[in-house]
Structure 1
C-alpha cells in the first residue's frame, strides 16, 4: 500500500452538506474541505488527513497485520467478504485505519488515522490489530502515539471479536502510559460506539476537531431504543469541552500547529542549565533578613488585581505553553489552569490558580476559587506529569476552594484530598510557589511539594482574616487584628518553616513590573530544579514526606517546624 491512494475527483463541483452551496473542487482542497460559505466541515479521508497534519514526505506506512477476515461467515443482504472487497476498491485501503511513522514540525511520532469511508470506520479485527501494532511500534521507538478517530463503532459483522479489539487497543495504550510515552487522540466527526468507549478517550491528551460528534450511542440508536430526541449541540466537541471531557476544540486549519506545539512541549528533556548567579539572590532564606511588616498590609498587596496570574507567569516563563483542560469526568473549571511548556529547554507541567485583572475575568474565573472539577483537573495533570517524568510547578493564588452547594454536592473535600494524595506520591520534582493569596485547604491542595516558596507580598493561612475575625471576634471588621494573630506574612511563614524561602519582588510589588517579577521567579525555579533533579525519585519522596511529617512536632533546641519562634 502507498499513501497516495486518493482517486481523482469524479466531478469538478460538490455541494456543501451544511448550506448546500456548490464548491469548486480545487478550492475545496485548498480550504481543507471547509466550506468557504458557511464553515461546515466535510469529512476527510485518511490520506487527506496525512497530507494535512504531517510534515511533507515524512509519513511512512506501517504494514498492516494479517488477520482472519470473516471469522463468523457473516452475511446479511450481502456476504461480508463482498462488502470488504467493495470497500477496498472504493477507498484503496486494506481496512479502516492507516498507520504511519511520521513527524510534525520535526518531532517524530507514530500515528493511526481512521477512515470513515471504509465501512463507517468500524472497528474490526484488522483495524484493532493495526492500531495495536502501531502502538507497539511507538513503544519500541519511544515516540509519541497519535490516533485520529472517525468511526461508527465496533464492526457488527465480526461479532464479539470486534469487542475484543476495544480491550486489545486500550491495553496497548496503557502500556505506553506506563512507559512514560505521550499519547494523544484527535477526535473527528463522527466518533461513536466501541472506539469512543475505549482507546479514543483513554489517551493523555484529547483534541477534538471543531463540530465533531462523539459519544457512545449515536443519535439514531438513542432515538430508536429509548425514544429520546437529543437537544441541539448534544454530543458535539464543544458540548464535551464544557463538561471537561476533551482538552481543546481546534479548528481544522489549526490542527497541525496545535499538535506540533503539544509535541514540542512534551519532547524529551534537555539538561537543565545551571543559573548564572548574576545579581542578588532571588530567594531570601533567613527571616532576620526580612523586615517586620504589618500582615494586613501584606494581605492588601497579595490581593492587588494587578498581580501576575498563573497564565501571566506561563507566558513569561515558558516557551510553547499548551494549556490542557477538563477533569475527564464532569467539567472544566476555569479557576485552575494547567499545561505543558518548556522551561529553559526542559518540559514542565505548570498548574496554578487563576484570578484575573478585571471584574469580567474575575467573575469568569470564580475569583480564583476552584470547584471539584478544578482540583480533579489538577490531579489529572499531576499524574500525567509523573508518567512523562516531567517536573511539576504549582502557582498558588486563591482565597480558598469554592464553598457553594454545587461544590459540596460534587465532592469538594474528596477532590482536595485526592490532590494531596497524588502530590505525596509523585516521583518527579515538585515546586510550589504562593504568588498571592494562599487560602486554606484550597491552597494546600497544590502545595504538598518538595519545596514551598512564598512571594515577598503573599500570604498563606488556614482561613482568611475576615473569616477568622467573623468566627472568633464576631466582627469581620477585626480582620487586620486577625491577620496579625494568624501570622500569615512571609517573614512569619519562614520562621515557622512553612516556607523554604521568600522570593523577592520588584520595588512596590509584582504588580508594578510583571516581567521583573517573572524573572526573579525564573531564577528561583532554575536553581531549585537543578537541585531536585539531582536526587533520585525515592529520596525526593522520602524527603517530601519528612518535610511535612515534622510540622507541629516538638523538637528540643529548635522551633523551625514546631511553631512560633
Structure 2
C-alpha cells in the first residue's frame, strides 16, 4: 500500500487494484482493501493491537544472543544494518514476543515484522521464539506464531541455520507437554522460518493471499527453468494441496483464534492426581446382545428395543441423499466448530471432514465422512463419501492433535467404502487405512464412533476402532455392499436384498452380534425426515457415551478398547471379558 497525500486528507493506494482508499476507512478495515480484499502487511505492533485484547499485552524480556558472530561485511558492516533496522522500525529485533489474551483466553504470541531485515531468522530471533515457547510451557497456555520472513539471516551464517533446529526443538517440547501451538501465516513466509516453527504447529492458518514456501518463486524458476503456475505458493494454493488448515480473513481472526485457544482451557495439569476409576467401560460391561442393564434411554442397548424392519429398508434409508451430513450434525450440535483441512503431505480429501468444537461445553475432535448431501455436483466433489488416502491421513493428523490436547474423538461414519481408483492405490490406500487402525487402537483419549449412514467395509472401519461403537437406527455396517456380495456369491446383483439379510447389516442384528454397543434412535421414517430431531438424538447419545468414558485414564482405556476388539471371532468370548476384569 502507498500513502498519497491530498489537500487535507490522507489516502492510501492499493497495490493490487490501484484504488484510492481513505486512510481512516483503511484503518477501520484492519488495513484490508475494501474493494479487492488485499491484506496489506502489518507491523508487529499493529498485529498485536489487532489480535490481543486491549491492555492485555505483557512483553517477554529480550534474550541476549551473539552479536555479529562472523564479523560479516558485504557492502556495509552487519552491525550498521542492525542499527539502521532498529532505528527505522523502533524494534530491537524482527520478532516481538508478549503474553496476552484473545477474547479472554490466555496466549503467548511471537509476532514477526518483515520490515526488520526482511523478518530474517537470526540468533536473536531464534532465542526469542524459543523463550516464547518456554514461557508458553511454563504457563501452560497456547503459543501463537505470526510469521513473516524472507528466510534465514545470511549475515550470521551457519549459526542462523541452527536456529531452525533450535526453534523446532522448542516446539517439540510443547508437543510433549500437550500445549496447543497455532501458526498464522502472513505474507511472505519463506526459507528457514517456513521449514521450521511456522509449519510445525497443530493448526496452520493463513491470511488470504499470503505466500508460504521453502524456496522463493524466483529461485525455483531459475533453478528448474520453468514458469510457475499462477497463484503458486499462495494460501489458496496451499489449502487446495492440503498444506494449511484454513484461510482466515483478518476481520475473523480474533474469533477463530479464541475458539481454538478455548480448547486448551479444559485440561488439568498432568501432575494433578488422576480421578479414581469407576467400573470399566470396556467389554466387561457389554454382554453379547449389547445389553448392560443400566444404559441411558437414548442409547438402545438391547436388540429387542430396536424396531423390527425388513433387511432392505435400512439399506435404502442409510443411503438416502437427504440424510444429514457430518456438517449438518456439526451445525446442530457443536459450538465453535472449525473445520481443519489437509494431510500436510500435499492433498486435502473433501470426503473426510474434521475439526474441533464443543459439544454442550465439552471440547471434542469431530471427524467423519461426508457424502455431499442432496446436490449431485457436491456429491461428486466429495467422491460420494469415499475417501482417498489423504482423507485417512487427515483424520490421523486430527486424531494425533486430539491426543496431544486430550480431546475426546467422535467419528461419524457414512461411506460406501474407501475410494477404489488407481490414484488412490498409487498413493497407498491400504497403508493409510492400516495406519489408522493401528493409531486408533492405541489412541490415549476416549473415542466414540457412530455409523450414521453406511458403514462400508475397511473404509468405514478406518474411523471406527472406538471405545463405543454406536449405529443410528437406520444405519448399516458390512464387510461388502449387498450388491457386491450378491454379484459374487449369487452371481446376480438383483439378489441384493437377499444378501443384505444374509449379511445381517441392520442395527438390531449388529447389536446381537456385539459389533456395535448401542443403537441411536431416529425420527419416524428416518433421519432425513427431521434432521433437527435426529441431531438431538445423536447428541444425547454422544454425551451419554462420553460421560461413561470420561473418568478413565489413558492406559486402562486403551487396554479395554484392545480387549474389546480382541474378542471378535473368539470361540470363548467370555474369556476376553474375564481378562479385563482380572478373573482369568
TM-score (normalizing by structure 2): 0.90
Q: Kindly indicate whether the alpha-carbon contact (under 8 Å) linking 1:372 and 1:407 is maintained by their aligned counterparts in 2.
A: yes
Report the Cα distance in structure 2 between the residues aligned to 1:188 and 1:502, rounded to whole angstroms. 47
Report the Cα distance in structure 1 between the residues aligned to 2:528 and 2:311, rounded to whole angstroms. 18
Name the structure 1 match of 2:61. Answer: 63
Of 462, 468, 490, 2:507 maps to 490
Q: Secondary structure of the equivalent of 2:99? A: strand
Name the structure 2 match of 1:4. Answer: none
Shift of 1:473: 1.6
Q: Kindly indicate whether the alpha-carbon contact (under 8 Å) linking 2:567 and 2:576 is maintained by their aligned counterparts in 1.
A: no
Instruction: Provide closer, same or farther for how the CA distance between residues 249 and 556 of structure 1 changes in structure 2, counting only shifts above 3 A.
Output: closer
When structure 1 is superposed on structure 2, of 538-547 and 525-534 the one drifting more is 525-534
Report the Cα distance in structure 1 between the residues aligned to 2:467 and 2:318, rounded to whole angstroms. 23
1:513-552 superposed matches below 5 A: 513-552=530-569
* Matched length: 547
Shift of 1:289: 2.8
Name the structure 2 match of 1:301. Answer: 317
Instruction: Provide closer, same or farther for how the CA distance between residues 287 and 305 of structure 1 changes in structure 2, counting only shifts above 3 A.
Output: same
Instruction: Provide closer, same or farther for how the CA distance between residues 556 and 50 of structure 1 changes in structure 2, counting only shifts above 3 A.
Output: closer
Name the structure 2 match of 1:181. Answer: 179
Report the Cα distance in structure 1 between the residues aligned to 2:441 and 2:38, rounded to whole angstroms. 47
Name the structure 2 match of 1:79. Answer: 77
When structure 1 is superposed on structure 2, of 204-213 and 38-47 the one drifting more is 38-47
Shift of 1:214: 0.8
Name the structure 2 match of 1:199. Answer: 197
Report the Cα distance in structure 1 between the residues aligned to 2:23 and 2:187, rounded to whole angstroms. 21
Name the structure 1 match of 2:338. Answer: 322
Does residue 149 (structure 1) correspond to residue 142 (structure 2)? The answer is no
Q: Kindly indicate whether the alpha-carbon contact (under 8 Å) linking 1:269 and 1:345 is maintained by their aligned counterparts in 2.
A: no
Shift of 1:262: 1.8
Of 133, 136, 161, 1:135 maps to 133
Shift of 1:502: 1.0
Shift of 1:357: 2.5
Shift of 1:556: 7.5
Q: Kindly indicate whether the alpha-carbon contact (under 8 Å) linking 2:306 and 2:519 is maintained by their aligned counterparts in 1.
A: no
Q: Secondary structure of the equivalent of 1:55? A: coil
Instruction: Provide closer, same or farther for how the CA distance between residues 523 and 36 of structure 1 changes in structure 2, counting only shifts above 3 A.
Output: closer
Shift of 1:224: 3.1
Name the structure 2 match of 1:243. Answer: 241
Report the Cα distance in structure 2 between the residues aligned to 1:269 and 1:100, rounded to whole angstroms. 23
1:156-305 superposed matches below 5 A: 156-269=154-267, 281-305=297-321
Does residue 332 (structure 1) correspond to residue 348 (structure 2)? The answer is yes
Alignment deviations for residues 267-289 of structure 1 (CA, whole Å, 9 cap, x no partner): 325999xxxxxx98111111233
Q: Kindly indicate whether the alpha-carbon contact (under 8 Å) linking 1:269 and 1:347 is maintained by their aligned counterparts in 2.
A: no
Q: Kindly indicate whether the alpha-carbon contact (under 8 Å) linking 1:58 and 1:103 is maintained by their aligned counterparts in 2.
A: yes
Gaps of 5+ in 1: 1-7, 273-278, 561-565
Report the Cα distance in structure 1 between the residues aligned to 2:387 and 2:506, rounded to whole angstroms. 23
Shift of 1:265: 4.3
Gaps of 5+ in 2: 269-273, 276-294, 578-584
Report the Cα distance in structure 2 between the residues aligned to 1:15 and 1:75, rounded to whole angstroms. 37
Report the Cα distance in structure 2 between the residues aligned to 1:78 and 1:112, rounded to whole angstroms. 29
Alignment deviations for residues 42-95 of structure 1 (CA, whole Å, 9 cap, x no partner): 211101111111111111111110111200000000000000000000000001
Report the Cα distance in structure 2 between the residues aligned to 1:136 and 1:376, rounded to whole angstroms. 30
Q: Secondary structure of the equivalent of 1:71? A: coil
Q: Kindly indicate whether the alpha-carbon contact (under 8 Å) linking 1:33 and 1:41 is maintained by their aligned counterparts in 2.
A: yes
Q: Kindly indicate whether the alpha-carbon contact (under 8 Å) linking 2:38 and 2:208 is maintained by their aligned counterparts in 1.
A: no
Does residue 474 (structure 1) correspond to residue 491 (structure 2)? The answer is yes
Runs of 4+ deviating beyond 2 Å: 8-16, 19-28, 35-41, 223-229, 264-267, 269-272, 288-293, 556-560
Q: Secondary structure of the equivalent of 1:288? A: helix
Report the Cα distance in structure 2 between the residues aligned to 1:436 and 1:505, rounded to whole angstroms. 11
Report the Cα distance in structure 1 between the residues aligned to 2:145 and 2:516, rounded to whole angstroms. 44
Shift of 1:526: 1.5
Report the Cα distance in structure 2 between the residues aligned to 1:258 and 1:185, rounded to whole angstroms. 12
When structure 1 is superposed on structure 2, of 189-198 and 343-352 the one drifting more is 343-352
Q: Kindly indicate whether the alpha-carbon contact (under 8 Å) linking 1:269 and 1:346 is maintained by their aligned counterparts in 2.
A: no
Instruction: Provide closer, same or farther for how the CA distance between residues 9 and 260 of structure 1 changes in structure 2, counting only shifts above 3 A.
Output: farther
Shift of 1:146: 0.3
Shift of 1:503: 1.2
Q: Kindly indicate whether the alpha-carbon contact (under 8 Å) linking 1:265 and 1:322 is maintained by their aligned counterparts in 2.
A: no
When structure 1 is superposed on structure 2, of 514-523 and 125-134 the one drifting more is 514-523
Q: Kindly indicate whether the alpha-carbon contact (under 8 Å) linking 2:296 and 2:544 is maintained by their aligned counterparts in 1.
A: no
Shift of 1:15: 3.0
Of 5, 20, 23, 2:21 maps to 23
When structure 1 is superposed on structure 2, of 210-219 and 246-255 the one drifting more is 246-255
